[in-house]
Amino acid sequence: MTAGKKSGGEAGDRLRALGLGAASEETRAPSGAAIHVEDLTAAYDKKAVLWDIDLEIEENSITAIVGPNGAGKSTLLKCILGFLKPLSGSVRIFGKALREVRDRVAYVPQFSEVNWDFPISVRDVVLMGRYRSIGWFRRANASERAIAEDAMREMGLSALASRQISQLSGGQRQRVFIARALAQRAELLIMDEPLAGVDKSSERIIIDKIRELKSEGKTIVCVHHDLNTLRSYFDHAVLIRRYVIACGPVEEAASEENIRRAYEDLI
Amino acid sequence: MISILFSYDFWVVAAGTSLLALAGSIVGCFSVYQGQSLVGDAIGHSAYPGVVLAFICFQTRDPLILTIGAALSGGMAYFLIHSLRDGGGIDFDSALALVLTGMFGLGMVLKTYTQGNPAYADASQAGLKNYIFGSAAFLMKRDAALIFCSGALVLSLLFLFRRILLISIFDRGYAKAIGIPEALGTAVLLFMMIVLISVGLKSVGAVLISSFLLIPCICANQHSRSLGPILLLSALTGILSALFGTFLSTAYRGLSTGPMIILCMGSVTLLSMIFGRYGLLPRMLRKRGKEND
Amino acid sequence: MTEVLFVLLMTAMACGLLGPFLVLRRLSMTADALSHSVLLGIVLAFFLVRSLDSVLLTLGAALFGLLTVLAVELLSGKGLVKRDDALGLVFPMFFSLGVLLITRFFRNVHLDIEIVLMGDPLFAPFVRLFGLPRSLVEMFLLFLLNLSFVILFYEPLKISTFDPSYAFLLGIPVKRIFYALMILCSFCCVTAFNSVGAILVISFFAAPAAAASLLSRSLWQMILLTLLLGALNCLIGCLIAFRWNVSISGMCSFVGMLSVLLLSLFSRGGILRGMRRRKQQRERFKEELLLLHLYRHRGDREETGFESLFRHVNWSRRETERYIGRLMKMKWVFADPCDKIYQLTEEGRERLLLAMTA
């Protein structure tokens, strides 16, 4: 690392203070990681939102993506799910391109993206999770329906199955979307703020379910807001603030130092 | 008056309008939930210059060719509205009004051009005028056949793409995540809207055709909150209004068919707004019931 | 011919004063609905006064326009339907009723539905008042009315347009201002119905104001520009229409739409400039990203090597080399020949710091 010495100078010091030190080496090979992001930069029209993101999310983990507002958490999810074409870099899921493994990935969207005026029942929403395996044109058969019913029961929604989604509370709605993801029988669940606007009892149900999924060998990635519950709910964390500040087991990644870096106003 | 019910001409017109109402009311529900209710109005008005242009280019009044002209110009209007909004910095509402008036103006320009031009004098002008306010009374068998084919096309498309439409309208993010191209749902819905609007232009007219898509859905919404019943009620409202409206307009001289049907739909909807399950009256009763407890 | 042009110009002026407020408050489609339902107002008023020239007819029909808006606000206010749907329900009904009444009862009266919507300015000079075309006098009066409304209530109009909730806190009667605007709008539609037609009125409201919104920075600028552009649309539309002997109202609306399309393509915030700006922005991001990548992986032979860098940023080799070439020209990056890697210069590091802290 001969170049390390040359990185001195005032600009270098201040770049380091931003948390932009040298990238760690282990993010190189796409090993058995569930999600492997390399040198990802993403931008909307006017501003760059993510800068040179390198990260790896371990298989069979519960990982939180944490950072202040505008840090690019949702953008990172959008890049991972292929909604947004990055300016540079690549994303591998289970070591493959997204389109090869789409059936193994389930997504729980943010509330604001959903059209709540649409008249649709809980059962029909959960059944959407089976659409890829039912096919777009065939009728849903009994076994597909049974999977959807199972998913509803697991999220405590059986009694609400015929209700309209617009009549449910925030926590119940979130459980419906998680049930839909469960019905997909995916190995990787990506959730955009599953605990935002959710009451305590629903939060309990959701967290218990997430832990159970982990014990079944699945991988869960959530955008998360609440720093207080970070350590108790998650075992891994990614701290971002337009670039990666830390990534790894929650105890290390969410250290005082890293959190200060992510949230304090620099300069 | 009952003798009308045994008249062949009545049934040609009634079949045409009620088929149109059936397909329109079902497709309309989806477009309403996508927040496109006024887009239909703009497309309807904008389809008119396409009719006249097709007439000028091909010098025929064949309904199929004029309908294709209408569809193309309606699609163009949609494109203009969206480019004005997305890139041009004009808000959606103004873009709608702008394109609506501009394209309809173009229609008037082209129509007056054919009037002043001796080359088109032989084709009767009344034919083109019909497309503005509609005249179901002049619906020929050929028009009814066109409506039938387009209606069947649209409804089978709707059936094929039902899941894709459902997901794309309800939850765009999830649709993308399971690999549905973002534009697909919108494109299919737009195609269905444009087909129905262009086909209905002759019988209902550019000004009112979009109501065929919108009003039955509003009506159904006063009675139910789940999709199946809403589609069913919406279709019923559409068909019954179309039949009744056509009947009235055949029975009484001087009542145009299109406006009569709209008036029937509208009256049913207003009644539903008062007496429907989610209407004003039950709501007041419920409130009173709560206060009494 | 000149008198026709004057009638149109006066209509454009009267409408142009209200247009900016309608566009900024997103009420153009509401005005469109209003202009359609005014037809029913005219028919009903005609039932009572039995004359198309009476002032009472104008007043009655304009009040009816207000009724439309009230109905829409009532329906959407009760939460029965969304506002757009309420618009789409109310105006077709009123319009249909108007059409039916005309075709059933007034076949022989000069009240042609087509004329109401499309108008025919060529007829305007035939009805005269004080030696001038009647429409010109009416429109002039309406212009004065609108002008005094805008001048007298300029501040409250402005505040309630840009920030209704703040206006409410200040004690400005937001609702009353809205209805005042709507009734003036309704007057414009009624007055215009037998000269230029309802559709053109909407075009005069929306087109110049939308075009002006692309060019202006303040409200008064926008109003002046709207008047100017409205007059220009009229002139061009009229000249073409006279030349080819086609519908004058139609041509003016079409020219109005074209003017907005052209402006939205070529103006400062327009589509073309926007595309170029986005392209430049992307290129700048890509340069900055290369700087950051070289910094973070400084010295890494794989990540920053001549032969492997392009794979890591996932670009084509040619594109990567083009960007590196640019950065080397700026003296932000140099090629280290012995390790076969690219590295940042001190200037490059400063440039990167600037990018990351901006």
Of A9-13, A59-63, C42-46, C54-58, where does mean pLDDT reach its minimum? A9-13
| Predicted ipTM of the assembly | 0.91
Interface of A with B in 177-206 (CB under 8 A): 180, 190, 192
Q: For chain B, list the contacting chains (3+ Cβ pairs, <8 Å).
A: A, C
Contacts of A87 in chain C (CB under 8 A): 282, 285-286, 289
pLDDT at C308 (0 to 100):
83
Q: Which residue is closest to A162 within chain B, CA to CA?
A: B226
Residues C260, B37: C-beta atoms closer than 8 Å: no
pLDDT at A6 over 50: no
pLDDT at C111 (0 to 100):
60
Q: What is the CATH number of the domain that holds A211?
A: 3.40.50.300
Using only C-alpha atoms, what is the Rg of chain C? 29
pLDDT at C194 (0 to 100):
67
Give me the domain span that covers residue C64.
Answer: 2-205
Q: How far apart are CA A213 and CA A201, in angstroms?
A: 18
**Token pair listed for A47:** 């501003």
DSSP state at residue A114: B
pLDDT at B87 over 80: no
Contact B8, B195 (CB under 8 A): no
What type of residue is C318?
R
Which residue is listed with tokens 């929306």? C206
DSSP state at residue A24: P
Q: How far apart are the first and last CA of chain B?
A: 53
Banded pLDDT at A2 (limits 50, 70, 90): very low
pLDDT at B129 (0 to 100):
75
Q: Please list the residues that pair with A57 across neighbouring strands.
A: A35
Measure C154 CA to nearest chain A CA, in Å: 35
Residue C222 CB coordination number (10 Å): 23
Q: How far apart are CA C210 and CA B195, in angstroms?
A: 30
Average pLDDT, chain A: 84
* Domains contained in chain B, number: 1
Q: Which residue is closest to C299 within chain A, CA to CA?
A: A3
pLDDT average, residue stretch C283-289: 87
pLDDT at C229 (0 to 100):
94
Measure A161 CA to nearest chain C CA, in Å: 26
Q: How far apart are CA B259 and CA A194, in angstroms?
A: 50
Contact B269, C89 (CB under 8 A): yes
**Token pair listed for A186:** 């995916």
Q: How far apart are CA C142 and CA C191, in angstroms?
A: 9
Contacts of C349 in chain A (CB under 8 A): 7, 9, 11-12, 15
Interface of B with C in 261-290 (CB under 8 A): 262-263, 266-267, 269-270, 273, 278-280
What type of residue is A189?
L
Contacts of B117 in chain C (CB under 8 A): none
Give me the domain span that covers residue A214.
Answer: 31-116+188-263
pLDDT at A75 over 60: yes
Q: Please list the residues that pair with B155 across neighbouring strands.
A: none
Pick from A145, A120, A116, A112: nearest CA to A131: A145
What burial class does residue C177 get, using C-beta atoms within 10 Å of its C-beta: 0-12 exposed, 13-18 middle, 19+ buried? buried
Q: Which residue is closest to A136 within chain B, CA to CA?
A: B163
pLDDT average, residue stretch C119-135: 70
Q: How far apart are CA C344 and CA C336, in angstroms?
A: 10
Contact A54, A37 (CB under 8 A): yes
* Domains contained in chain A, number: 1
DSSP state at residue A3: H
Q: Which of C205, C238, C256 is the last residue of a domain?
A: C205
Residues B221, C100: C-beta atoms closer than 8 Å: no
Q: Please list the residues that pair with A238 across neighbouring strands.
A: A65, A247
Q: Would you say residue A210 lies in a domain?
A: yes
Q: What are C139-196's pLDDT values in tens digits?
A: 899 999 999 999 999 998 899 888 888 888 888 888 899 999 999 999 888 888 767 7
Q: How far apart are CA C21 and CA C7, in angstroms?
A: 23
DSSP state at residue A22: P
Which residue is listed with tokens 């997204």? A98
**Token pair listed for C87:** 């618009």
Q: How far apart are CA C168 and CA A240, in angstroms?
A: 41
Using only C-alpha atoms, what is the Rg of chain B? 20
Of A141-145, A171-175, C78-82, C317-321, where does mean pLDDT reach its minimum? C78-82
Q: Would you say residue A167 lies in a domain?
A: no
Contact B199, B215 (CB under 8 A): no
Angle between helices C83-105 and B37-58 (to 10 degrees): 50
Banded pLDDT at C63 (limits 50, 70, 90): confident
Q: Strand A188-192 and strand A105-108: pairing?
A: parallel
Contacts of C271 in chain A (CB under 8 A): none
Q: Which residue is closest to C294 within chain A, CA to CA?
A: A22
**Token pair listed for B68:** 């294709």
Q: Which residue is closest to C254 within chain B, CA to CA?
A: B102
Backbone angles phi, psi at A63, to 5 degrees: -110, 135
Q: How far apart are CA B104 and CA C119, in angstroms?
A: 13
Whether this prediction's pTM lies above 0.90 is answered by no
Alpha-carbon separation of residue B34 from A205, B22, B38, B179, B184 (angstroms): 32, 19, 11, 20, 14
Measure A94 CA to nearest chain B CA, in Å: 16
Q: What angle do CA C147, C153, C155 make, to 5 degrees?
A: 120
Residues C165 and C46 in one domain: yes
pLDDT at C126 over 80: no
Contacts of B218 in chain C (CB under 8 A): 81, 85, 88-89
Q: How far apart are CA B170 and CA C190, in angstroms?
A: 41
**Token pair listed for C54:** 């009476």
Half-sphere exposure of C301 (CA within 13 A, CB side): 6
Beta strands in B61-166 (DSSP E): none
Q: How far apart are the first and last CA of chain C?
A: 60
pLDDT at A266 over 60: no
Q: What is the CATH number of the domain that holds C281?
A: 1.10.10
Residues B260, C210: C-beta atoms closer than 8 Å: no
Burial string for B51-80 (b: 16+ CB within 10 Å, else e) reads: bbbbbbeeeebebbbbbbbbbbbbbbbbeb
Q: Would you say residue C213 lies in a domain?
A: no
Q: What are A12-46's pLDDT values in tens digits?
A: 777 776 666 666 554 444 457 888 888 888 888 77
* Domains contained in chain C, number: 2
pLDDT average, residue stretch A140-162: 89
Q: Would you say residue A68 lies in a domain?
A: yes
For residues A63, A69, A70, A75, the Cα torsion angle rounded to the nearest 10 degrees is: 30
Q: Which residue is closest to B40 within chain C, CA to CA?
A: C88
Alpha-carbon separation of residue C357 from A111, A239, A265, B127, C354 (angstroms): 32, 18, 11, 67, 5
What type of residue is B73?
S
Angle between helices C83-105 and B257-275 (to 10 degrees): 130
Of B61-70, B145-154, C110-119, where does mean pLDDT reach its minimum? C110-119
pLDDT at B124 (0 to 100):
57
pLDDT at B1 (0 to 100):
66
Pick from C140, C253, C236, C127: nearest CA to C188: C140
Q: Which of C205, C221, C244 is the last residue of a domain?
A: C205
Q: How far apart are CA B19 and CA B17, in angstroms?
A: 6
Q: Strand C128-129 and strand A244-249: pairing?
A: unpaired
Banded pLDDT at A3 (limits 50, 70, 90): very low
Residue A29 CB coordination number (10 Å): 9
Residues C281 and C200 in one domain: no
SS3 content of chain C, % helix, strand, coil (to 5): 75, 5, 20
Q: What are A116-135's pLDDT values in tens digits?
A: 889 999 999 999 988 888 87
Residues C96, B266: C-beta atoms closer than 8 Å: yes
Please name the residues in contact with C169: beta carbons below 8 A apart, sequence gap of 6 or more.
none
Q: How far apart are CA C241 and CA C298, in angstroms?
A: 69
Which residue is listed with tokens 């007055």? C191
Q: What is the CATH number of the domain that holds B81?
A: 1.10.3470.10
Of residues A255 and C251, more confidence is placed in C251
Q: What angle do CA C16, C22, C233 make, to 5 degrees?
A: 35
Q: Would you say residue A239 lies in a domain?
A: yes
Give me the domain span that covers residue B162.
Answer: 2-292
Half-sphere exposure of B16 (CA within 13 A, CB side): 30
Q: Would you say residue A23 lies in a domain?
A: no
Distance, CA of B270 to chain centre? 19
pLDDT at B99 over 70: yes
pLDDT average, residue stretch B235-243: 95
pLDDT average, residue stretch B104-125: 78
Q: How far apart are CA C158 and CA A256, in angstroms?
A: 49
Q: What are A199-235's pLDDT values in tens digits?
A: 888 899 899 999 999 999 899 999 988 888 888 899 9
Classify A221 as helix, strand or coil.
strand
Q: How far apart are CA B132 and CA A116, in angstroms?
A: 36
pLDDT at A87 over 60: yes
What type of residue is C82?
K
pLDDT at A5 (0 to 100):
41
Classify A83 as helix, strand or coil.
coil
What burial class does residue B162 get, using C-beta atoms within 10 Å of its C-beta: 0-12 exposed, 13-18 middle, 19+ buried? middle
Q: How far apart are CA C80 and CA C69, in angstroms?
A: 16
Distance, CA of B176 to chain centre? 29
